[in-house]
Amino acid sequence: MVSMVQNVAVDCADAYRLARFWGEVTGGQVDPECGPGDRETQVTLPGGPVLYFNQVPEAKTVKNRLHLCLRPEDRTRDAEVARLLALGAVLVGDHREADGTGWAVLADPEGNEFCVLRSAAERAAGAPQS
């Protein structure tokens, strides 16, 4: 027997606000029964697990030990980075190389780090894999 992943839980200061951000990032649906002020909410990802946001009293203080890696489907990595910055993400680390390889590390509005990788089309175009 094995265990299946039910959801990925994210502790946060404002569950609904962060769920809305991640809903925009992923195209996932925020639980329609949730609203501002709710201490818990979730985003159902297309074809994937649920992101579960749980409001906690303590603030994030150190680097994540677990993070999401995003691969854009219909745009380049750099275009996706620009879109996410416009949504409220912050650039934390830029590991993009001149040859097109690499990734960008961003943080959501509460400081949770995540990576943006190259799209499948960029990887197939011949640049070395990363």
Please, what is the average pLDDT of the chain?
A: 92
What pLDDT is attached to residue 126? Answer: 66
What pLDDT is attached to residue 2? Answer: 82
What pLDDT is attached to residue 63? Answer: 81
Domain boundaries, the chain: 7-57, 66-130
Contact (Cβ atoms closer than 8 angstroms) between residue 38 and residue 104: no
C-alpha–C-alpha distance, residues 34 and 39, integer Å = 9
| Lowest-confidence pick of 47-56, 108-117, 118-127 | 118-127
In this predicted model, what pLDDT tens digit does every residue of 91-105 receive, in sequence order?
999 999 999 999 999
In this predicted model, what pLDDT tens digit does every residue of 34-54 receive, in sequence order?
999 999 999 999 888 899 999
C-alpha–C-alpha distance, residues 41 and 77, integer Å = 28
Residues in the chain: 130
Q: Does CATH place domain 7-57 in 3.30.720?
A: yes
What pLDDT is attached to residue 61? Answer: 87
Homologous superfamily assigned to 66-130 = 2,3-Dihydroxybiphenyl 1,2-Dioxygenase, domain 1 (3.10.180.10)
pLDDT over 70, % of the chain: 95
Alpha-helical runs (H) found in 1-130: 15-26, 77-87, 120-124
In this predicted model, what pLDDT tens digit does every residue of 2-17 receive, in sequence order?
867 889 999 999 999 9
